[in-house]
């Protein structure tokens, strides 16, 4: 698909030269916007009736690329979530890695508090050390409660401070039905979330590609124990669907007597990536059956069309007072369109460039918008950014351009 379209600018005369040192460049008129296919990132404010019912206290399915809700049943009910809590714990640790605050190879010494955690664990002893990556793998695969506390203490200094950050991050993500009290989901009062909020944090965590290795690994081992007392500990993924459901590639199970059987599941087929969440199922098998039913509905009725990959060019623009004078407006991220099967032709886009841009322009600065329509309905809007730097043109350059335009 050729996404390029040129815009031609003519010199405006001597007055433009006298404005050469103003910090604003002008993007001159362009042709009609190009038409492409893309997707909605809007979620219905009110819950619509589900096409069928599932045996769960709360459930939702979203398009993982956009957050578009495709199925919901009591999706905003505040419910205990057991070890699904660990999605937020892993998210904060991965963001600390991305921000350079910690490294995935850092060694973490296990505290007495971390070693004392009950429930699912790796049976680590106080004083032994493991890398951040090893602990994250243990949390993702074996749902290690001790690993959660160890990571929280390493990142924030204490589990209490880390939990404060969990709640702050939840607020930033728009998770209005959520309140965390601990890092691992062990039973405690006032610790809850909703199927919808879990889908939000699942989408965010899945952006970190490294985590996908752990989500899709069925079995592994790690060495635990103090020096001289080491032993191999087997890690088996708690999410059986990665071996039972076509395309399943995550994310996290959970169970306590209070929460019931819970699961946030991710599955991808071709370009379509869906996330389904169920809370409060009666058995592990029922949890897997209900998630599979929801995902089956999604894959049977919807498909994803890739509109553009990150960096695809939508327009070439002429910056009147810039050097270089031309810069491309490109997609800031991969853009996809989720539509009902067989209806990709109904989705179009319109690219609109900013009329003015402040110079200097830095690569990655937003210089336009890509509006997305399904027929007449606007369903999303995406930033278009500069693919290179543009500095202010010198007075001499502007004079030269002016006279070049005369002849």
The tens digit of pLDDT for each residue in 95-125 reads 999 999 999 999 999 999 999 998 999 999 9
Does the structure show a pLDDT above 50 at 379? yes
For residue 50, what pLDDT is reported?
81
The correct answer on CATH 1.10.8.640 for the domain covering 14-41+307-406 is no
- C-alpha dist (Å) from residue 344 to 36, 39, 152, 284, 316: 10, 10, 45, 37, 26
CATH 2.60.410.10 in the chain, residues? 14-41+307-406
- Clarify whether 86 is annotated catalytic: yes
For residue 393, what pLDDT is reported?
79
User: Among residues 30, 57, 83, 193, which one is catalytic?
Assistant: 83
Phi-psi region of 312 (alpha: psi -120 to 50; beta: other; left: phi over 0): beta
Pick 263 or 393 by higher pLDDT. Answer: 263
- Cα 210 from Cα 231, distance rounded (Å): 26
Does the structure show a pLDDT above 50 at 94? yes
CATH 3.40.710.10 in the chain, residues? 58-281
Mean pLDDT, range 148-153, rounded to an integer: 98
State the DSSP code for 101. S
Mean pLDDT, range 277-305, rounded to an integer: 97
- Residue 177's closest CA among 254, 80, 110? 80
Give the 3-state secondary structure of residue 198: helix
User: Among residues 30, 40, 57, 86, which one is catalytic?
Assistant: 86
Mean pLDDT, range 264-289, rounded to an integer: 98
For residue 24, what pLDDT is reported?
41
Confidence band, pLDDT 50/70/90 cuts, at residue 399: low
For residue 322, what pLDDT is reported?
85
Mean pLDDT, range 285-296, rounded to an integer: 98
- Cα 386 from Cα 359, distance rounded (Å): 12
Alpha-carbon torsion (110, 115, 117, 121), positive or negative: positive
% pLDDT > 70, the chain? 86
Does the structure show a pLDDT above 90 at 160? yes
Domain 58-281: which CATH class? alpha beta
For residue 401, what pLDDT is reported?
65
- What are the pLDDT digits (tens) for 28-83? 333 333 232 223 344 444 567 789 999 999 999 999 999 999 999 999 999 999 99
- Clarify whether 394 is annotated catalytic: no
Q: pTM for this one?
A: 0.82
Pick 308 or 295 by higher pLDDT. Answer: 295
For residue 118, what pLDDT is reported?
87
* Entry field: residues in the chain: 407
For residue 321, what pLDDT is reported?
85
% pLDDT > 90, the chain? 73
> Is residue 132 within 8 Å of residue 93, measured between CB atoms?
yes
> Is residue 349 within 8 Å of residue 337, measured between CB atoms?
no
- Clarify whether 111 is annotated catalytic: no
Does the structure show a pLDDT above 90 at 360? yes
- Cα 229 from Cα 128, distance rounded (Å): 10
Q: What is the mean pLDDT of the chain?
A: 88
User: Among residues 40, 111, 120, 143, which one is catalytic?
Assistant: 143
């Amino acid at each position: 698909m050729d996404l390029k379209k040129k815009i031609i600018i003519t010199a405006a005369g001597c007055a433009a030269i006298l404005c050469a040192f103003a910090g604003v460049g002008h993007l001159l008129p362009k042709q009609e916007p190009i038409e492409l296919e893309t997707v909605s990132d809007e979620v219905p404010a009110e819950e619509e009736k589900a096409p069928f019912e599932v045996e769960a206290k709360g459930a939702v399915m979203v398009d993982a690329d956009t957050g578009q809700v495709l199925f919901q049943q009591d999706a905003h009910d505040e419910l205990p979530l057991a070890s699904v809590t660990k999605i937020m714990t892993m998210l904060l640790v991965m963001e600390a890695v991305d921000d350079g605050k910690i490294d995935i190879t850092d060694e973490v010494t296990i505290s007495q508090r971390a070693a004392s955690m009950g429930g699912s664990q790796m049976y680590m002893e106080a004083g032994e050390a493991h890398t951040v990556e090893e602990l994250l793998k243990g949390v993702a695969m074996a749902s290690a409660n001790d690993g959660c506390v160890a990571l929280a203490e390493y990142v924030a200094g204490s589990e209490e401070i880390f939990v404060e950050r969990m709640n702050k991050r939840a607020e930033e993500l728009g998770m209005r039905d959520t309140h965390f009290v601990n890092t691992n989901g062990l039973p405690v009062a006032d610790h809850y979330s909703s199927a919808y909020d879990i889908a939000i944090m699942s989408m965010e965590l899945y952006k970190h590609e490294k985590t996908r290795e752990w989500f899709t690994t069925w079995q592994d081992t790690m060495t635990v124990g103090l020096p001289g007392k080491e032993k191999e500990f087997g890690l088996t993924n708690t999410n059986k669907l990665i071996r039972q459901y076509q395309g399943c590639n995550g994310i996290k199970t959970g169970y306590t007597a209070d929460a019931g059987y819970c699961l946030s599941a991710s599955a991808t087929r071709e370009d379509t990536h869906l996330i389904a969440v169920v809370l409060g199922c009666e058995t592990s098998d029922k949890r897997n059956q209900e998630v599979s039913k929801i995902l089956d509905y999604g894959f049977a009725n919807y498909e994803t069309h890739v509109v553009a990959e990150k960096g695809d060019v939508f327009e070439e623009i002429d910056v009147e007072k810039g050097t270089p004078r031309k810069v491309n407006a490109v997609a800031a991220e991969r853009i996809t369109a989720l539509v009902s099967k067989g209806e990709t032709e109904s989705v179009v886009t319109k690219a609109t460039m900013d009329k003015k841009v402040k110079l200097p322009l830095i690569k990655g600065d937003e210089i336009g918008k890509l509006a997305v329509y399904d027929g007449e309905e606007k369903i999303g809007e995406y930033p278009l950014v500069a693919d290179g730097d543009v500095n202010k043109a010198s007075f001499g350059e502007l004079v030269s351009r002016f006279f070049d335009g005369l002849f």
